[in-house]
Amino acid sequence: MENLLYYSIQTNLLLIIVYVSYIGLLKNLTFYALNRVYFLTGIIFSFIYPFLDIKSWFSKPIIAIGEYLTILPQMTDPAVKELSLNDIIIAVLVAGASILLIRFLVQLASLLRIHMYSRPAQWRTFIFRNVWIPIVPFSFLNKIYVNKSLHEDLELADIFHHEEIHVKGKHSFDILLSELTLIFCWYNPFVWLMRKAIRQNLEFLTDQQVLNNGADRKTYQYSLLHVTKQGAAIGIGNQFNFKTLKRRIMMMNKKRSSKLQLSKYAFLLPVFIFTGAALTVNQAEARIEKIVSVTKATALDVSLPALKQDTVKVIKVVGEANVDKTVREKVIINKKDTTINKIIIRSASSGKQPMYMVNGKEITKEDVDNIRPDDITSINVLKDASATSLYGTKGENGVIMITLKNGNSGVVNTGDASTFKKDSVDKFVRGKVTGVTILKRGDNQAGGASQLHIRGLKEGKDPMVIIDNKIQEGSKSLKDLDPNSIESIEILKDAAATVLHGSKAENGVIKITTKKKQIEEETEKK
């Protein structure tokens, strides 16, 4: 629901810019064909640009450098959703759109009724539908509707020349697009004004082409005046006597715009692109900041490095470790309200104890065992070069860095890895776990294989999985993936995922880069 509101805000902001730019720069120009292209392009771009990664058009992705292992599990019990302000706003928007949709369907029904009260006919070289009831001449799609008995031959000539241009120019597409835009954005007053401006521009364009084809200017204008009060009009048709008749006549008599004015169109193109990029990036970054702030509010948090991208680098795996049956493991279960957080810490390879640092001070493993989980703000695990570069030989077996805060909870020790069942923790949290966990499971042989467990970013739903920039079919593709071959894993959630990858990523995105792919990219840079 929240993503729908973000999309609506982004779309309507750009629609406002489209209309205001037309009024400020293009309204008084006689380049009606270009104005038509401007409106069509502006509306379509307004609806699709939230799905475009415009920022990537102008910059290359930056990969965070560093060797670290961070686990950020998130487990929540199902909660009853309460009615929010966002839900009320969306309900109002849907109700308004439904009313306008019904109005649009009624107009189509009226058009069908007129069609039923007409028969195919021909006047000179023009094929049309001769209507038996009084109507204002109009065209829709490839049909011209006229009550021939209400007009003299001189008027009919101007009417048919006018409506034939509407039909050949497929102007009904512009009308339908403006009506559909109004249905979805009815709450935006600028959309109502733009709908009127689109219709006006089509009539200006048609009048200009009629006069260019040799019609007498005064006779044509008199025909417009004579037909203004005849019969019913259809809102979705291209009418011969559009309501703003005075302005139409004024624009027909207006001097043609200089070609130097064409530079205004060239100026507007980059304005739309950069405005769209700014809106998309700002919304994505705002959403990511919200994700980070919510994460920090939980009982267990993980420090994340600052990045220049709009993605959060959650996990980076460096090196590999062999685990034997003597490895002991600790399961910290932290419960606060309805939130359960779990973290699994295993000792370094070959059963050797890592170095433990708490708030910058070295402590023993026995002291770590006495730490309450609620007192923990973050846990970072350093391995190999990243550990020895900071702590020398003391960090050769790895370093576990813990930052504390105040709180209370419990600690459960599970004993030797050889007696630890594979799914014991999984059963405890089944159906509640979201996120990514990388475990080094021990077995009866030294050098037990690593296992990669990835659960959906939304409960009960699989995320989109991308391995080396290729979308995989479901999370099952990860079963054959060796965790030791992984260079990095990125997790995208909510707006950060849908902005970059569209609606298919509504359940989140897990983006994996293998070491082979990383080596290829570094080779290309050299």
pLDDT digits (tens, 9 = 90+) for 100-139: 999 999 999 999 999 999 999 999 899 999 999 888 889 9
More confident residue, 373 or 359: 359
Provide, rounded to the nearest whole percent, the portion of the chain with pLDDT above 70: 63
Q: Which two tokens stand for residue 322?
A: 């062999």
Q: What does the pLDDT look like over 481-500, one tens digit per residue?
A: 777 777 777 777 777 677 77
Report the distance separating Cα 39 and Cα 345, nearest Å. Answer: 59
Residue 346 DSSP one-character state: E
Mean per-residue pLDDT for 1-12? 82
Strand partners, 513: 488
**Which of the residue ranges 94-98, 211-215, 275-279 has the most confident prediction, judged by mean pLDDT?**
94-98
Mean per-residue pLDDT for 334-339? 38
- What number of CA atoms fall less than 13 Å from residue 91's CA on the CB side? 6
Q: Tell me the three state secondary structure of residue 456.
A: coil
Q: Which two tokens stand for residue 52?
A: 């475009």
Report the distance separating Cα 139 and Cα 429, nearest Å. Answer: 64
Confidence of residue 229 (pLDDT cuts 50, 70, 90): low
**Predicted local confidence at residue 31, as pLDDT:** 93
Is 407 a residue whose pLDDT tops 70?
no
Q: What does the pLDDT look like over 158-186, one tens digit per residue?
A: 889 999 999 999 999 999 999 999 999 99
Residue 425's Cα: distance from chain center in Å? 36
**Predicted local confidence at residue 198, as pLDDT:** 95
Is 345 a residue whose pLDDT tops 60?
no
More confident residue, 215 or 453: 215
**Which of the residue ranges 262-276, 289-303, 370-384 has the most confident prediction, judged by mean pLDDT?**
262-276
pTM: 0.52
Q: Beta 361-363 vs 410-416: how paired, if at all?
A: unpaired
Beta strands across the sheet bearing 376-382: 361-363, 355-358, 399-404, 376-382
Containing 163, the helix (H) or strand (E) segment is helix 153-168
CA-angle at 65, arms to 390 and 462, nearest 5°: 115
Confidence of residue 513 (pLDDT cuts 50, 70, 90): confident
